[in-house]
Amino acid sequence: MTVGVLAVLAAPREERHVIRPIHAEDIQAAPAAWEALEWIVRLAILAAGALVLGSGLAANAGVACARAERAWARPALRDAVLSAWASARASGSTWSPWCRASA
């Protein structure tokens, strides 16, 4: 570690970077409606990721499936995900020791 610290201290300094001005006078701002739509989509993606991550960490797909059924109105999708989740837990194919089916 001493060799690394000495090498960093003995290294030559970089040249000073000159910051050039960026001329943005001719660039128009994006319409507010597009900005709002973009943020709505970003937050929806963030919420969906949090829902999937939370379901995985809690080892319970029920909440995610209930939200998906409400959003897409497809009970068949909910049933398919729940049965796949249950079969994975029953077969012991999950990586978590807390999700393994008891023998």
Q: Where are the domains of the chain?
A: 53-91
Read off the pTM. 0.52
Please state the φ and ψ torsions of residue 36, each to the nearest 5 degrees.
Answer: -65, -45
Q: What is the mean pLDDT of residues 78-92?
A: 73
- pLDDT number for residue 55: 79
pLDDT digits (tens, 9 = 90+) for 2-43: 999 999 999 998 888 899 998 888 888 888 899 999 999 999
pLDDT digits (tens, 9 = 90+) for 49-68: 888 888 777 777 777 777 76
Pull the structure tokens for residue 10. 């003995």
Q: Which of 64, 102, 103, 70 is nearest to 84 (CA)?
A: 64
